[in-house]
Each structure stands twice: as C-alpha cells, then as structure tokens.
Amino acid sequence: MTVAVLNALSRPLLEGKLPEGVEPLWFSDTDELMALAPRAQVAWLDMIKPPVAAEAISLMEGLKWYNAMSSGVDWLPLPILRARGVALTNGAGIHAQTVSEYAVMGMLTMAKGWREVVRAQDRHEWLMEPPGKRELLDAEVLVIGAGEIGSRIAEMLRVFGAKVTSARRRPGPGDLGQNEWQGALGRFDWVILIVPSTPETTGMFGADQFAAMKPGASLLNFARGTVLDQDALLAAIDSGHLGGAFLDVTTPEPLPSDHPLWSRQNVHISMHLSGRAQDALLARGTARFLGNLERYCRGEALEHQVDLSQGY
C-alpha cells in the first residue's frame, strides 16, 4: 500500500480516480497535515504556504515522491529532498498558456499605452490621439529561458509577426547560448526573462545588462524577482535608458506599498498573478498528478521530474 498525503482541496478531483493500492490521507489544515506527514510516501501539498510545506516535508522521513504544481521549486526544501533521495516533479508547462497570454498582454499594454486609455476612461475623457503607437510586427524580441513557457511565448509572438530569438542553456539552431545573449542585448526591442530560479540565475540581470540593452527597449520578468537587480532596474528607468518594464515578480512579494517601483509610470506590476490566471490550473495539475501516480505505482519513470542538482 502506498500512502499519499493530499490537500483536501483536491479531493473532489481525485476521489474515485486514484489507482488501486493507494491510501489517501486528506488534510484540511496545518494541524492535520503535521499529524499525517510522518506517514507520507507520496505527497501533494499545493495551496499551502511555503514555510508550512517545508515544515511538513521535514517530518516526511519515508517520502519517496513529492509532487508540486508550480514550475519553480525554489520555495521547497531542496537540500532535504536531495539528501533523502526523494523524486520531485513540478508543474512545468501547466502554466505555459496563461503566462504566455500575460506576456503578450504586457507587451501590448506598453506598446499601445493602454494604461493611459483606461485612466482616460476613468476620467470620462475622450482621447484624440492614441497614447501608444508601437506594433509587435517586426519587433526584435529576446526570450531568455526557452523552456515550455518561453517556447509558448515565442510561438504566440511569431503570430504577431515579431522576430523572436531564444536564449537557453543548451542552444539549438538559431538560439543564443549562455555566453552569447549578453553581447546581443543591443539588438532587441523587448527582453523577456523566464529562466528557472537557481543560484546561477540569481542577480543575472543587473546594471551591465541594462546598460547593454537598446535605448528605449522594454523588459518583462516572469521568472523570479531575484533574477534581476531592482535597484539597477530603477536606475535604468529613471535615466530614461529603459523604455519600460512589466514585472510579474518582484523582491519581496508582496511589494511594500511605499516601494518606488509602484510610482514609475512606465513600470507595470502584475503581482505574480500570471500563472494563476486560469480556471483550469487545478484540473491540469490533477491530471498530471494522476498520470504520474499511475507510473509511480507501476515502478515507471515519472514525467516532469526535477533535476535536484540543477534545481529545475
């Protein structure tokens, strides 16, 4: 019998669909989770706060497989999972559609000056000229981190006629490698960050990278706030070198109400909503978990397994 500790919020989607030989233990609150944690061989704890998940995982000495619905796993106690030989799977690709839609929305919002259109409507003011006239057609776009989400962003942007270049750790034909994209930053009108959060990517985009960008270009960050130097971002915005920024992620989160990023007219903050702006998130996560649970019970390799030595 395989014992699985599961969030009761997923019970309506999972009950009656679990493979034979799986004993589900449902938790509804932190106390129940901590009481059940020592029995877990499989765990899916999404929809709870990261510190609570970390505490529960520390009690799961018999854990064999942990399932996460998020793409990024930096919020999990990776050293514990690595030391105990726990298999970790993530939600890579589950968020690809909605994050990609947010990326396109962010680019169009900045290109068309949509913020000013909305504010004019709030004032009941009829604008005689559009506040933004840029198009995505023929725009040069660099997507740094071309995993499932980055690839989907590129696919969507090419429909608009944008010229998209991808940068990735293991570049394919036409891609830029780790040691190439920084020297090419001056080519691009838009730069989109969607890299995994690892020690190697922390602070990867700072003053030198902003200085190398094309004057007036825009940056979008859907990775983690720690990937870029926010002080350097503010300096690039305030100097006028950077045309704008769309930040789905910041450091810290939530961003304090008095943080200067809120007050910059050409900075847009979407409050880490992009990956959750979908009705199908839990259904997609459940389908992936059930598929992997069948594989686990058959002793087969799990899909979307994280390389714990790399952190993604």
The string of pLDDT tens digits covering residues 164-186 is 999 998 899 999 998 899 999 99
- Dihedral angle sign, alpha carbons of residues 282, 2, 302, 198: positive
Give, in order, the Cα–Cα distances in Å from 145 to each of 247, 252, 299.
Answer: 16, 22, 32
The string of pLDDT tens digits covering residues 181-214 is 999 999 999 999 999 988 889 999 999 999 999 9
Q: Is the pLDDT of residue 311 over 90?
A: no
Which class would CATH give 96-276? alpha beta
* Mean per-residue pLDDT over the chain, rounded: 96
Q: Return the closest-CA partner of residue 68 out of 246, 309, 308.
A: 308
Bridge partners (DSSP) listed for residue 248: none
The string of pLDDT tens digits covering residues 207-259 is 999 999 999 999 999 999 999 999 999 999 999 999 999 999 999 999 999 99
Between the two ends of the chain, the Cα-to-Cα distance in Å is: 30
Q: Do domains 2-93+279-298 and 96-276 have the same CATH topology?
A: yes
Break the chain into its structural domains and give their ranges.
Answer: 2-93+279-298, 96-276
Q: Give mean pLDDT, residues 92-109.
A: 96
Confidence of residue 310 (pLDDT cuts 50, 70, 90): confident
- Whole-angstrom Cα Rg for the chain: 21
Q: Give mean pLDDT, residues 89-113.
A: 96
Determine the pLDDT at residue 245.
98
Confidence of residue 6 (pLDDT cuts 50, 70, 90): very high
Bridge partners (DSSP) listed for residue 141: 164, 190
Percent of the chain at pLDDT above 90?
92
Determine the pLDDT at residue 47.
87
* Residue range 2-93+279-298, CATH number: 3.40.50.720
SS3 226: helix
Q: Helix crossing, 96-111 with 148-159: angle to 10°?
A: 50
